[in-house]
A and B are shown apart, each in its own frame.
Chain A
Amino acid sequence: MPPDSGLALTPTAAPRGASRPTDLLARGEPFLWGLGGALGFGVMMIAGFLLLVLWNGIATFYPRPIHVVTLVNGDVLAGEPTRTESFRPPAAEVAALPPSTQVTVATKLGFADRTLYRTGNFDLYGDDFRWVTDYAIARITTPPDLYLFERLEWGPFIGRIKSVDLAGATFDAGGIPLERLAVAHDEARRRWRQIREIEHDEIGRVNQQIESERLALRKMELGAGAHTPEYTDAAGRTEARVAAMTREYEGLAARAAALKAENARYTIALADIKGREKLLPLAEIMRFYPANDLSIFGKLGVYVSRWGEFLTAEPREANTEGGVFPAIFGTFAMTLLMVIAVAPFGVITALYLREYATQGRLVSVVRISVNNLAGVPSIVYGVFGLGFFAYIVGGTIDEVFFPERLPNPTFGTGGLLWSALTLALLTVPVVIVATEEALAAVPRSVREGSLACGASKWQTIRRIVLPRAMPGIMTGLILAMARGAGEVAPLMLVGVVKLAPELPIDGIFPYIHFERSFMHLGFHIYDVGFQSRNSEAGKPMVFVTTLLLIALVALMNATAIMVRNRLKQKFSGSQF
Chain B
Amino acid sequence: MQAPATPKTQTAPLRPKTRVTRRSVLIADRAADWTIRIGGLAIILAVFGIMIFLIHVAIPLFLGASVTGHIQRDIPNGAGNPRFVAVDEYNTVGVLIGDDGRVSAFHLPTGAALAVNNLDFGGGVATAASRTLDWRDMAFGFADGHVRFARLDPTAGVIAGDSLPPGLTRLANGDSTDGRVVYAAAPGGQYRRIGVVVATDAAQPVAEGAAIVAIDYRVGGTIERPSRAFITVDSKGVVRLSSAETRMNLLTGAARTTLTTATLPPLPAGTQVARVLFTANADQAYVADAGGTVYRYDTRNLNAPVLAETVDLLPRDARLSAFGFLIGEQSLMVAGTDGSVGGYFRLQREGASTGDGYKLIRAHDLAPHATAVTGFGASQRGKMFVTGTADGLWIRHGTSEQTLLKLSHAESAGGRHVLLSPRDDGVFAFGGDGKVDFWRVSIPHPETTLQTIFGKVWYEGYAEPGYTWQSSAGTDSFEAKLSLIPLIFGTIKGTVYALLFAVPVALLAAIYTSEFLHYRARALIKPAMEMMASLPSVVLGFIAALILAPIVETWIAAVILAVVAVPLSLLVAAHLWQILPIDWALRLDGAPKLVMIFVTVALGVYLAALLGPVFEYAFFSGDFRAWVNGSTGRATPFLFILVFPVSFLVAQLATERLDLPWLRAIADRTRKDGAFAMLRWLVLLTGSAAIAYGIAEILAALGADLRGGVVGTYVQRNTLIVAFAMGFAVIPIIYTIAEDALNSVPEHLRAASLACGATPWQTATRVILPTAMSGVFAGIMVGMGRAVGETMIVVMAAGNTPILDWNVFNGLRALSANIAVELPESVKDGTLYRTLFLAALTLFVMTFVINTAAEMIRQRFRKRAFQL
A contact residues vs B (CB 8 Å cutoff): 19-22, 24-46, 49, 52-53, 85-88, 108-111, 344-345, 348-349, 351-353, 355-357, 362, 365-366, 368-384, 386-388, 391, 425, 428, 432, 454, 456-459, 461-462, 479, 482-483, 485-489, 492-493, 522-523, 525-526, 529-530, 535, 539, 542, 546, 549-550, 553-554, 557
Query: Which residues on the B side are within 8 Å of A49 (C-beta)?
Result: 543, 728
* Interchain CB contact (< 8 A) of A371 among B517, B537, B855: B855
Q: Is A557 touching B39 in the complex (CB atoms < 8 A)?
A: no
Q: How far is the CA of A41 from the CA of B820 in the complex (A)?
A: 32
Q: Which of A26, A45, A376, A488 contacts B762 (CB under 8 A)?
A: A26
Known A-B contacts A29-B578, A34-B508, A368-B852; A383 and B761 likewise in contact (beta carbons under 8 Å): no
- Whether the pair B545, A425 counts as a contact (CB closer than 8 A) is no
- What residues of chain B have their CB less than 8 Å away from a CB belonging to chain A? 16, 21, 25-26, 28-29, 31-33, 35-37, 39-44, 46-48, 50, 53-54, 57, 504-509, 511-513, 516-517, 525, 528-529, 531-532, 534-539, 541-543, 545-547, 551, 554, 566-567, 570-571, 573-575, 577-578, 582, 593-594, 597-598, 600-602, 613-614, 616-617, 622, 656, 668, 671, 673-674, 677, 681, 728, 731, 735, 758-759, 761-762, 765, 782, 785-786, 788-792, 795-796, 816, 819-820, 823-824, 828, 836-837, 840, 843-844, 847-848, 850-852, 854-855
Which chain A residues lie closer than 8 Å to B542 at the CB level? 525-526, 529, 542, 546
**B33 contacts A383, CB within 8 Å?**
no
A124 CB, min distance to chain B CBs, angstroms:
26
Partner of B508 from A38, A356, A376, A383 at Cβ < 8 Å: A38
Across the A-B interface, the 5 shortest Cβ-Cβ residue pairs: A377-B789, A352-B40, A486-B536, A28-B761, A38-B508
Given contacts A457-B29, A535-B546, contact A383 B840 (CB under 8 A): yes
State A390–B551 Cα separation when bound (angstroms).
Answer: 41
13 new A-B contacts, CB < 8 A, other than A35-B512, A365-B44, A378-B791, are A19-B668, A30-B681, A41-B505, A42-B506, A382-B819, A384-B53, A457-B32, A457-B33, A458-B33, A488-B791, A489-B791, A526-B795, A535-B546
A536 → B minimal CB distance (Å): 9
Q: Which B residues lie within 8 Å of A366 (CB)? A: 40-41, 43-44
| A-side contacts of B575, CB under 8 Å | 29-30
Determine which of A21, A44, A53, A489 lies in contact with B673 in the assembled complex, contact meaning CB atoms within 8 Å: A21
Complex alpha-carbon distance, A332 and B751, angstroms: 51
Q: How far is the CA of A49 from the CA of B855 in the complex (A)?
A: 32
- Taking the closest CB of chain B, its distance from the CB of A430, in whole angstroms, is 10
CA distance A170 to B850 in the complex (A): 74
- A492 and B824 contact, CB distance less than 8 A: yes
**Given A380-B843, A550-B535 in contact, is the A38-B505 Cβ separation under 8 Å?**
yes
Task: Tell me which of A85, A371, A461 has the highest count of chain B C-beta atoms within 10 A of its own C-beta.
Answer: A371
**Set of chain A residues within 8 Å of B535, measured between Cβ atoms:** 486, 550, 553
In the bound assembly, the distance between CA atoms of A492 and B817 in angstroms comes to 11
Contacts of B16 in A (CB 8 A): 454
Q: Which of B26, B48, B577 is close to A29, meaning CB atoms less than 8 Å apart?
A: B577
Q: Which residues of B contact A462 (CB under 8 A)?
A: 32
List B contacts of A457 (CB < 8 A).
29, 32-33
Cβ contact within 8 Å between B36 and A356: yes
Q: Does A40 lie within 8 Å of B848, measured CB to CB?
A: no
- Chain A residue numbers with a CB within 8 Å of B26 are 456
Given contact pairs A34-B570, A384-B54, A526-B796, A375 touches B598 in the complex (Cβ within 8 A): no
Contact, CB under 8 Å: A375 / B850? yes
Q: Tell me if A369 and B600 are in contact (CB < 8 A).
A: no
Contact A109 B816 (CB under 8 A): no
Q: How far apart sit A348 and B795, CA to CA, in the bound complex (Å)?
A: 36
Question: What are the residues of chain A within 8 A of B668 when measuring CB–CB?
Answer: 19-20
Which residues on the B side are within 8 Å of A370 (C-beta)?
43
How far apart are A116's CB and chain B's nearest CB, in angstroms?
Answer: 11
What are 14 A-B contacts with C-beta separation under 8 Å?
A25-B656, A26-B759, A27-B578, A33-B577, A85-B554, A109-B622, A372-B848, A373-B47, A384-B53, A457-B29, A457-B32, A493-B820, A549-B538, A553-B534
Q: Is the CB of A32 within 8 A of B602?
A: no
**B-chain residues with CB within 8 Å of residue A351 when the two chains form the complex:** 36, 40
Residue of B nearest to A350 (CB): B40
Partner of B509, one of A26, A35, A348, A372: A35
Task: Decide if the interface of chain B is mainly helix, strand, loop or mixed.
Answer: helix
Contact, CB under 8 Å: B46 / A383: no
Shortest B14–chain A CB gap in Å is 14
**Pairwise interchain contact B816-A379, C-beta atoms closer than 8 A:** yes
Q: Which of A35, A379, A557 contacts B791 (CB 8 A)?
A: A379
Contacts of A356 in B (CB 8 A): 33, 36-37, 40
The A/B interface has a contact count, at CB < 8 Å, of 333
**A44-B602 contact given A349-B40, A529-B545, CB 8 Å threshold:** yes
Q: Is the CB of B828 within 8 A of A459?
A: no
Question: Which residues on the B side are within 8 Å of A387 (C-beta)?
Answer: 53-54, 57, 837
Q: Are A383 and B837 in contact (CB under 8 A)?
A: yes
| Contact yes or no, A542 B546, CB < 8 A | yes
Contact B512 A383 (CB under 8 A): no
Q: Are B46 and A369 in contact (CB under 8 A)?
A: yes
A37 to B819, CA, bound (A): 38
CA distance A526 to B513 in the complex (A): 35
Determine the chain B residues whose CB is within 8 A of the CB of A85 once the complex forms: 551, 554
With contact pairs A529-B796, A550-B535 given, residues A376 and B601 touching in the complex (Cβ less than 8 Å) = no
A379–B36 CB distance below 8 A? no
Cα of A79 to Cα of B677 in the assembled complex, Å: 58
A40 to B517, CA, bound (A): 12
Complex contact B41–A372 (CB within 8 A): no
A29 adjacent to B574 (CB under 8 Å)? yes
- Asked whether B539 lies within 8 Å of A549 as measured between CB atoms, the reply is yes
With A458-B29, A458-B32: A33-B851 Cβ-Cβ less than 8 Å: no
Known A-B contacts A29-B578, A44-B601, A557-B531; A375 and B47 likewise in contact (beta carbons under 8 Å):
no
Distance of B815 from chain A, by nearest CB (Å): 8
Contacts of A456 in B (CB 8 A): 21, 25-26, 28-29
> Does B53 contact A388, Cβ atoms closer than 8 Å?
yes
Q: In the complex, are the beta carbons of B39 and A348 less than 8 A apart?
A: yes
A379, B40: Cβ atoms under 8 Å?
no
Known contacts A24-B674, A546-B539; A386/B759 CB under 8 A:
no
In the complex, chain A residues whose CB is within 8 Å of the CB of B656: 25
* Residues of A with C-beta under 8 A to B40: 348-349, 351-353, 356-357, 366
Shortest Cβ distance from residue A253 to the other chain B in the assembled complex, whole angstroms: 34
Contact B847 A375 (CB under 8 A): yes
Q: Which residues of B contact A353 (CB under 8 A)?
A: 40
Q: Is the CB of B516 within 8 A of A369?
A: no
Q: Given contacts A26-B759, A52-B543, A425-B46, are A557 and B37 in contact (CB under 8 A)?
A: no
- Given A380-B843, A456-B25, A493-B823, also A33-B50 (CB < 8 A): no
Cβ of A372 and Cβ of B851 under 8 Å apart?
A: yes
> Is B525 within 8 A of A43, CB to CB?
yes
A80 to B756, CA, bound (A): 67
User: How distant is the Cα of A248 from the Cα of B854 in the complex, in angstroms?
Assistant: 66
Whether A348 pairs with B36 at a CB distance below 8 angstroms is yes
CA distance A33 to B681 in the complex (A): 15
Contact of B42 among A37, A345, A368, A380 (CB under 8 A): A345
- A-chain residues with CB within 8 Å of residue B786 when the two chains form the complex: 375
B45 to chain A: closest CB distance in Å? 9
B614→A26 contact, CB < 8 A: no
List, in ascending order, chain A residues with CB within 8 A of B529's CB.
Answer: 42-43, 46
Tell me which residues across on chain A come within 8 A of B601, comparing CB atoms. 37, 40-41, 44
Please give the distance in Å from A219's CB to the nearest CB on chain B. Answer: 16
CA distance A443 to B573 in the complex (A): 52
A560 to B39, CA, bound (A): 25
For A378, the chain B residues whose CB sits under 8 A away are 789, 791
Q: B785 to nearest A CB, angstroms?
A: 5
Residues in A neighbouring B21, C-beta threshold 8 A: 456
Complex contacts, B31 vs chain A, CB 8 Å: 458
| Residue among A40, A388, A482 having the largest count of chain B Cβ atoms under 10 Å | A40
A488 to B794, CA, bound (A): 13
